[in-house]
Structures are given as structure tokens and as C-alpha cells.
């Protein structure tokens, strides 16, 4: 779902949006993924609640530190705590923009220089940039007094929250009055300055000494919406014409890829139901092209859900494909995606099993090509899943690395001599990328490493669109 809510969604009261967002933020703080939590949000509120919740996740380090400075005692109710964080994240952005607009004392105080450009007063979202994914286009921006008023109204709407209404009101007003000094104090904490856990900051600093700050900054930008054209049903040229006729600005960003200047709900884009395209980042679109595929090959897509790479393989080449995943519900999403794209049929087999447990699923017939898009920390896709940084723990990295090793060692047994295995992760941690590939090559003397992109960082590289963080290593099995 795109981050910028529709105009219709903004007809919902901000107080309701903030309350729904707070429920989702509370879920993340309790260890639940934001995507799963948002799925339970009422449909009328889901788009605007996602925008505010995403914004809060990108500002969570700062909001937490501001709350720590202003609130002496931790609120006893987790929803009150989440409401404070949502309101402070929105209010800081509101005050920044009020200062940029030259507004009075209820915005930022004089001398508090904004970090962004002057906002468009006619919009609740920053619309002064044309680059896809620019935060100025999609950040939720409201007047400071509106944020305070609607936050208090949200608290007043719930009997359990009413006793804390004065606490929230006083906290927000104190922040507005003393914002410059509070921000100076708060940003002494690296987690508040960079809006990432301190262990995450240190991992990137050690791994990328020349780029770590850029990576942290880039992770706080929303990712662009990229469409992968289904070449069996449409073409880049046809899709560009259809988008132009629908008044949607887009441009070609890859061989089969189009980038939308502004995200849209998928149902609002021509050709969704007809299967003309899928949403898939440019980095993920490389997988189907890196595997050396020929018609008639026997191909395995391990850890296949939600099916983007599976579909891309089938769009490009007529192969016999096995889509394998350990999660039955996610595997059903693969089936649904293939059905919408017109790619389901007798040449596609779906298997629900643990990829590392060959006895549970493999029939002993070797594969010509295996895509091992293994589980990882997803540290390369924070632009689209800003909650990930707060859900992960440092101990997760060695755990996922060990799981990855078990999976690829098992899958290597299924590759025929002369066949290929493509190792892929959407991570930027070396333990899940280059170090994993090096160790795999050491364990398997019959593996030859071929040319592949290796570590792709989510940083501008001269292209119009910045890709997600991804890692690819391609291996051939010696005959």
C-alpha cells in the first residue's frame, strides 16, 4: 500500500487517524510487525494511519528521547505511551514546517532552522519535490495547533485514556515552547539523532566507514513505487501510454520497470486486475535476470513468497518451476499473484515445506537453477518497512546467518552438475551477504562463484531511482 493516503482518506478526522496510528505503534513496540498490525486497522483509516505510523517509525528515536526528557514517569498504559510518540513525531514535523513558513510561536521558535524546504500550504503532504521517494512529498504535515488539539481529542474519545489527557496536552505544549533546547538535548543521543537503534548504527559504521551516515539517512526516506511490467500481457511502451491517459506521471527505470513519480493505490493504476504489472523494487527485479535460464529448464524458487521473483521468472522464460515456502498462507499469496498475472498452470508446482529439510519435499530430481532468496533481517528495505529497525535485535543477525547457511547447504544438493544457484538477501549486513557467500564457497569445493552484483546499497548511484539494499551471489556447480 502506498504511503501517501488519498484525499478521501484525509476526510477522516486527524484524531481518529492518530488513535489508529497509536494502536499500530503500540503493536510494534510489543514486537508485532507494522504490516500485520495495519491489516487489522479499519479500511477507512488504514491509508492515513499507515502514513502517520510510518512517519512515527522514522522519527521514533527522536520522539522517544523527547518523551524521556519531558515525561518524568513512564505512562502506565502502553497506548498512552504510543499516543505520546505519535503526537511528538507529528508535532516536530509540524513545528519545523511552521518555522519554514514563517509562522508564529505555535510553530518552531525563531532561529530554529528547518531541515527541509518550504512546504506547500495547500497540502497536508510535502509536494515541493519531483524525485520519487522524496520525503517532502509524503510526510504528513499539519499545523502545530491542529496536532495538539486533535491529539487531546483522541485521548478524550477513549475512557481509558482520559485520565492522561492533561499529561499529553502539557507535554506537547511544553515541547512547542522549548523545542530548540529540547531538540539540542535530545539529539545528543545517537538513537535520537539517526532514528536507529544504537547497535544498528554501530554495525553500519564498522561495515561501511565512508557511507554509514548516508545509509542511515537514506533509510528514513520512503521508497519509490516501482512497477514491473508483465511482458506476457503488456509492454513498457503500452503501460506508459496507459499511465499517461490516466494522468499518472511515470518513467522507465529498468528493462521492464516503471517508476511512479507519486505512489498510488494499486487499484487506481490501469491494468492491475488484468495482470499487466506487479509492484517490485528494481533491486529485486535483478534476480530473474541473473539466473541463466533457458526454456524447458527445471527451476526452484526456494522461500518463494510473496511471489514477485517467481512471477518474474515465469514472465521471462517458459520453465518448469517449483515455488517452495514454509508458510502456507504466504504460499497462497504466491498462487493468487500468479493467477492474477496469468502465470499459473501445469508447469508450476507449489510446495509448502522447510527448504532446509530435503526429506520433506525434494523428489531427488536435480534442478537446473535454484533461487535461494533466503530469510534475513531485511535491513536493506527499511524505506518500505521502517518498523524493522525497532523490531530486530543484534542477536538476530547470527541467528539468521546460521539459518541461511543451513538452507543454502541443503539447496546446493538439489542443483545438478553444471547448474546454478543464486543466493539473495534484502540485507546490507555483511554477515548475511558477502561473508555468507565467502563461507559457502569454502564449504563447497564444487562451487564456482560467477559475476553478480554482490552488495547493493540503497544509496543514489547516478540513477533516477535509488534501489533497495540487496545482495546477490551466483554460483555454478562444477560438472
Hey, which bits of 82-237 come out as E strands? 225-229
**Is 310 inside a domain boundary?**
yes
* Lowest-confidence segment of 16-30, 126-140, 261-275 by average pLDDT: 126-140
- Model confidence at 98, pLDDT cuts 50, 70, 90, reads confident
253 and 186 within one domain: no
Answer whether residue 451 is part of any domain: yes
pLDDT for the residue 137: 57
Tell whether the model's pLDDT for residue 120 goes beyond 50. Answer: no
- What CA–CA distance (Å, rounded) separates 98 from 114? 9
The pLDDT score that the predictor gives to residue 1 is 53
- Please give the order of strands across the beta sheet that includes 225-229: 250-254, 257-260, 225-229, 277-279
Which domain-ending residue is among 237, 264, 280?
280
The model's pLDDT over 320-354, given as tens digits with 9 standing for 90+, comes to: 999 999 999 999 999 999 999 999 999 999 999 99
Same domain assignment for residues 237 and 357: no
Residues 433-461, mean pLDDT to the nearest whole number: 96
Place of cell 528547518: 114
Residue 99's pLDDT is what? 81
By C-alpha distance, which of 139, 159, 165 is closest to 84? Answer: 165
**For the whole model, what pTM was predicted?**
0.90
Residue 56 lies inside a defined structural domain of this protein:
yes
Q: Compute the distance between CA of residue 275 and CA of residue 87 in angstroms, rounded to an integer.
A: 40
Q: Which of 303, 352, 376, 426 is catalytic?
A: 426
Residues 56 and 175 in one domain: yes
CA distance linking residue 108 with residue 98, whole number of Å: 6
The model's confidence at residue 271, banded by pLDDT at 50, 70 and 90, is very high
Mean pLDDT for the chain? 90
The yes-or-no answer on residue 426 being catalytic is yes
Same domain for 450 and 391: yes
* Structure confidence by residue, pLDDT tens digits, 54-75: 999 999 999 999 999 999 888 8
pLDDT in tens, 387-433: 999 999 999 999 999 999 999 999 999 999 999 999 999 999 999 99
The size of the chain, in residues, is 479
User: What number of other Cβ atoms are within 10 A of residue 132's Cβ?
Assistant: 23
Q: How confident is the model at residue 108 (pLDDT cuts 50, 70, 90)?
A: very low
Count of structural domains within the chain: 3
Say what the pLDDT of residue 333 is.
Answer: 95
- Do 31 and 167 lie in a common domain? yes
Mean pLDDT, residues 92-100: 89
Strands across the sheet containing 447-456: 348-352, 320-325, 298-302, 367-373, 415-425, 470-477, 447-456
pLDDT single digits (tens) 181-218? 999 999 999 999 999 999 999 999 999 999 999 999 99
In this predicted structure, the answer to whether residue 124 has a pLDDT above a threshold of 90 is: no
Label residue 113 exposed, middle or buried (CB < 10 Å: 0-12, 13-18, 19+).
Answer: exposed
Answer yes or no: is pLDDT of 104 > 60.
no
pLDDT of amino acid 383 = 95
Question: Which residues, 6+ apart, have CB-to-CB distance to 113 below 8 Å?
Answer: 99
Distances, alpha carbon 157 to alpha carbons 15, 20, 90, 163, in Å:
9, 12, 19, 11
Round the CA-based radius of gyration of the chain to a whole number and report it: 24
What percentage of residues in the chain have a pLDDT greater than 90? 85
| Domain co-membership, 255 together with 364 | no
- Residue 207 in any domain: the answer is no
Q: Give the CATH number of the domain where residue 365 resides.
A: 3.40.50.150
User: Do 179 and 230 sit in the same domain of this protein?
Assistant: no
* Residue 298 covered by a domain: yes
- What are the backbone angles phi and psi of residue 361, rounded to the nearest 5°? -150, -25
Residue 206 lies in a domain: no
Based on the fold, state whether residues 249 and 294 are members of the same structural domain.
no
Task: Report the 10 Å Cβ neighbour count for 110.
Answer: 10
Lowest mean pLDDT among 115-124, 223-232, 385-394: 115-124
Instruction: Average the pLDDT over 296-305 and give the result.
Output: 97
Residue 419 inside a domain? The answer is yes
CATH number (domain holding residue 167):
1.10.940.10
- Same domain as 119, residue 56: yes
Q: Which domain does 407 fall in, by range?
A: 286-477
Task: Determine the pLDDT at residue 6.
Answer: 37
Amino acid at each position: 500500500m502506498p504511503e501517501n493516503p488519498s484525499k478521501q482518506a484525509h476526510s477522516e478526522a486527524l484524531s481518529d487517524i492518530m488513535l489508529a496510528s497509536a494502536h499500530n505503534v503500540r503493536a510494534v513496540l510489543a514486537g508485532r510487525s507494522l504490516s500485520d498490525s495495519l491489516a487489522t486497522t479499519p479500511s477507512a483509516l488504514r491509508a492515513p494511519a499507515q502514513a502517520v505510523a510510518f512517519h512515527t517509525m522514522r522519527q521514533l528515536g527522536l520522539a522517544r528521547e523527547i518523551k524521556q526528557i519531558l515525561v518524568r514517569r513512564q505512562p502506565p498504559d502502553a497506548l498512552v505511551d504510543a499516543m505520546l510518540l505519535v503526537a511528538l513525531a507529528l508535532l516536530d514535523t509540524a513545528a519545523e514546517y511552521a518555522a519554514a513558513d514563517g509562522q508564529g510561536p505555535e510553530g518552531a521558535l525563531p532561529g530554529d532552522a528547518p531541515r527541509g524546504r518550504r512546504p506547500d500550504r495547500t497540502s497536508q503532504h510535502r509536494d515541493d519535490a519531483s524525485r520519487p521517494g522524496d520525503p517532502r512529498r509524503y510526510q504528513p504535515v499539519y499545523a502545530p495547533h491542529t496536532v495538539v488539539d486533535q491529539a487531546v481529542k483522541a485521548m478524550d474519545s477513549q475512557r481509558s485514556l482520559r485520565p492522561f489527557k492533561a499529561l499529553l496536552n502539557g507535554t506537547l505544549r511544553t515541547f512547542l515552547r522549548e523545542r530548540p533546547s529540547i531538540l539540542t538535548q535530545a539529539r545528543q543521543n545517537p538513537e535520537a539523532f539517526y532514528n536507529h537503534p544504537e547497535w544498528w548504527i554501530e554495525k553500519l559504521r564498522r561495515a561501511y566507514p565512508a557511507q554509514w551516515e548516508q545509509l542511515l539517512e537514506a533509510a528514513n526516506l520512503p521508497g519509490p513505487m516501482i512497477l514491473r511490467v508483465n511482458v506476457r500481457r503488456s509492454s513498457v511502451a503500452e503501460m506508459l501510454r496507459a499511465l499517461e491517459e490516466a494522468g499518472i506521471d511515470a518513467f522507465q527505470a529498468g528493462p521492464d520497470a516503471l517508476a511512479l513519480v507519486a505512489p498510488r493505490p494499486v487499484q487506481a493504476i490501469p491494468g492491475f486486475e488484468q495482470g499487466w504489472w506487479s509492484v517490485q523494487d528494481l533491486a529485486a527485479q535483478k534476480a530473474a535476470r541473473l539466473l541463466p535460464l533457458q526454456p524447458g529448464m527445471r527451476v526452484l524458487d526456494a522461500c518463494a513468497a510473496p511471489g514477485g521473483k517467481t512471477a518474474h521468472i515465469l514472465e521471462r522464460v517458459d520453465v518448469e518451476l517449483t515455488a517452495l515456502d514454509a508458510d502456507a498462507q504466504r504460499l497462497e499469496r504466491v498462487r493468487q499473484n500468479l493467477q492474477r498475472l496469468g502465470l499459473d498452470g501445469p508447469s508450476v508446482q507449489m510446495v509448502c515445506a522447510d527448504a532446509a529439510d530435503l526429506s520433506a519435499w525434494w523428489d531427488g530430481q536435480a534442478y537446473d537453477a535454484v533461487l535461494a532468496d533466503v530469510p534475513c533481517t531485511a535491513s536493506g528495505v527499511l524505506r518500505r518497512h521502517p518498523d524493522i529497525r525497532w523490531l530486530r535485535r543484534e542477536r538476530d543477525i547470527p541467528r539468521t546467518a546460521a539459518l541461511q547457511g543451513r538452507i543454502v547447504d541443503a539447496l546446493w544438493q538439489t542443483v545438478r552438475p553444471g547448474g546454478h544457484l543464486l543466493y539473495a538477501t534484502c540485507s546490507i549486513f555483511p554477515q548475511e551477504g558477502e561473508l555468507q557467500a565467502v563461507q559457502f564457497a569454502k564449504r563447497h569445493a564444487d562451487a564456482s562463484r560467477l559475476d553478480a552484483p554482490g552488495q547493493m546499497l540503497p544509496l543514489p548511484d547516478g540513477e533516477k531511482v535509488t534501489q533497495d539494499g540487496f545482495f546477490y551471489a551466483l554460483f555454478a556447480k562444477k560438472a
